[in-house]
Amino acid sequence: MAKIPKSMRLTGCSVRQNAQVTANATLDRAAPGAARGEVAEGVGLRKVALLGLVAISALVVAAGRAATPVGVVLERSFGGLLAPSSRGGTFSAVAVVISLAVLLACWWRVLRLALQRRVSLRSVGWTGATWLMPVLFAPPLLSLDAYAYLAQGTMLATGLDPYSGGPVLLGDDPAAARVDPMWRASPVPYGPFTLLLLRAVALTHGNLAIGVLLLRGIALLGVVAAVGAALRLAPTPRRPHVLALCLLNPITLVHLIGGAHIDAVLAGVVGLSLLALRRNRPWLAWLLASIAVAVKITAAPLLLFVLVVLWHQRRGWPRLVLAATGLAALPYLASLAAVSRPWGFLPALLVPGSVAPWYAPATIAGNVLVGAGRLLALPVEPSAARLAGRLVVLLLGGLVVIALVRAEWADWAGHGPARGRATVQRASTALLVVSLCLPAIYGWYLAAGLFGLAAVGTPAWSAAIVALSSALTFSSLPPLYAASRWPLVVAWGVALTVLGLTYKHVGRPVGRAGDLATMPEREPIAMGHLRYLRLAQAAGLGLIVPVTVGLLSPGASAGVASEQTQSERARVVKQLTREYPRLQLGSVLPATDFGAPYRVELVRPGEQTCDLVLGPGIGPRVRFPRLPEDPIERRVRAMDERPCPLPVLPVEDPVSSAP
């Protein structure tokens, strides 16, 4: 009989049990991402993957049948998946809320399995591919931005400058009618490299489905680059968790890829720049960072971190300045093929913040200042207080970025090269801080810093990503102003119940009883990460609740107008369209900053546009008296006189046109 080794002579354990423990421990050391419990990976992950597939499929169907804002004209397309509701869209809104909650719960579940190292990198990848399939050929999900991209590409194709005006300059082109009237007259706030991509998409010659699929293909390439860079930056044992944190994230699947947002391109270029920086290729990192800034200027902090590396590796500062300037100018020179003024996006940077969600820190700070002024009985103008709040938040964010750059400089100056996890983590943190300090915050704004922090961030940063992604998953929803309120309340109740039960389930063991106890060398890591995951889910729930209340409240300012406001705006649109049949109505926005009910933008297609601010004495429920015959040729005092975004024809007699 063979002699039993000492390692297997344990009191209370059979030889077979100890052999199984030894084999499992060897398997874990050989393949950290492999699953020990076949039940947890084989059955548990399959169930979660199937449930997530059902949830995202239901989301695709429901989002395509959502109601559209007043003034948006969308035709049926995508094989019937895009069929906007002509009514309130209550059923669609309810289905979207519940589907998002179930998908979010499935993501939490996969994260837990990945933290316990019970799923392999391949199984997580297959789950992500399964969830991605319904999204690839769907209409844009939960956002109209893709239609704005197509309209801006059409402007470039027809010789119009998107930096000078919005898609309203296209006149009666169907591409302009698909854009939300809130942004129809707004210039493009993105960099020139974005316009270069949109000009390429315009080669579809107005085909809606093909144009959206091309945009989604570009977004998919950006996500693939970002995820690939994150996996390269992450240690091998953490890669299943990093892949689950990045690819299966609802922000990635629903908003970046499903919504075909240009921020996916930003995420990909930033990820490749960080990877080049980690591999000691600072000039390549500088070029990629310059391209990222030419996509969206919020990536500018990345240039500072690359510049620190270049400065400490310089061979003379004149050569550094010339080379850095030349490489930084390349994206702008390349974009000359699409736009004649690559710097034209600078005046339009305030456009995204013109309608700020109430939950954004900048909006909260402004409202706090307004409340403090009223409490102290100070003569504070609300618009000025809100602007001050935005400036305070931007200043705080700038101080954080400066502190991170100084820490990077200190590492290079005092301890040698700082390339590695610390550099990538600081740069990604700076990008995330900038996105959170903007006046408007939506889920896809996290893309710039999300993937880098997921790769090299601490467990606390991973928890922050989970919490922010969970809350901002609901930052963009179908229009709710015409939907029935009580079905929405029930839907949010169901959604929060699903997420609450999933949160409660996190602390329970997966698979058979005692599975963690048999792996003492893995228990501290797994349980520590699980505690952070529980904190992240609790924080996510805590953030979702106020967002829910804000979206359901009658006076919410998160881009959701009340039914009364929409009906009044529709009445304004109807009358102005009847009064000016030859002019295109750019937008009808609340003009609270000017002490008037509405601010109207009228455009003569292809020529010029003019702002009209409806006077305080004119109510939206009655017919406007003495509207000018031609507001383009004669600037009107009937409304408070304001300069127009584009040059107008000379005014010969501005007084005679006043009512």
pLDDT tens-digit map of 98-134: 999 999 999 999 998 888 888 889 999 999 999 999 9
Q: How confident is the model at residue 86 (pLDDT cuts 50, 70, 90)?
A: confident
pLDDT at 450: 92
Q: Is the pLDDT of residue 374 over 70?
A: yes
pLDDT at 315: 65
Are residues 278 and 231 in contact, defined by beta-carbon separation less than 8 angstroms?
Answer: no
What is the rounded average pLDDT of the residues 603-613?
52
Among 21-30, 33-42, 238-247, 399-408, whose mean pLDDT is lowest? 21-30
Q: How confident is the model at residue 187 (pLDDT cuts 50, 70, 90)?
A: confident
What is the rounded average pLDDT of the residues 495-520?
59
Q: Is the pLDDT of residue 495 over 60?
A: yes
pLDDT at 44: 74
Query: What is the chain's length?
Result: 659
Q: Is the pLDDT of residue 463 over 60?
A: yes
- 308 or 347, which is more confident: 308
**How far apart (Å, rounded) are the C-alpha atoms in residues 434 and 148?**
24
- 262 or 372, which is more confident: 262
Among 126-140, 474-488, 534-548, 640-654, whose mean pLDDT is lowest? 640-654
pLDDT at 644: 36
Are residues 602 and 584 in contact, defined by beta-carbon separation less than 8 angstroms?
Answer: yes
pLDDT at 110: 92
What is the rounded average pLDDT of the residues 232-248?
91
pLDDT at 310: 85
Q: What is the CA radius of gyration of the chain?
A: 27
Helix, strand, coil % (nearest 5) of the chain? 60, 5, 35
Are residues 32 and 117 in contact, defined by beta-carbon separation less than 8 angstroms?
Answer: yes
pLDDT at 464: 87
Which two structure tokens, joined as six digits, stand for 126?
A: 């297959």
pLDDT at 621: 38
What is the rounded average pLDDT of the residues 70-83?
83
Q: With H, G, I as helix, E, B as strand and everything else as coil, classify residue 608.
A: strand
- 659 or 566, which is more confident: 566
What is the rounded average pLDDT of the residues 156-173?
80
- 1 or 309, which is more confident: 309
The secondary structure element, H or E, covering residue 489 is helix 485-505
Q: How confident is the model at residue 33 (pLDDT cuts 50, 70, 90)?
A: very low
Q: With H, G, I as helix, E, B as strand and everything else as coil, classify residue 85.
A: strand
Q: What is the pLDDT of residues 241-277, one digit of tens each?
A: 999 999 999 999 999 999 999 999 999 999 999 999 9
Q: What is the pLDDT of residues 610-645, one digit of tens each?
A: 555 554 433 333 344 445 555 444 333 333 333 333
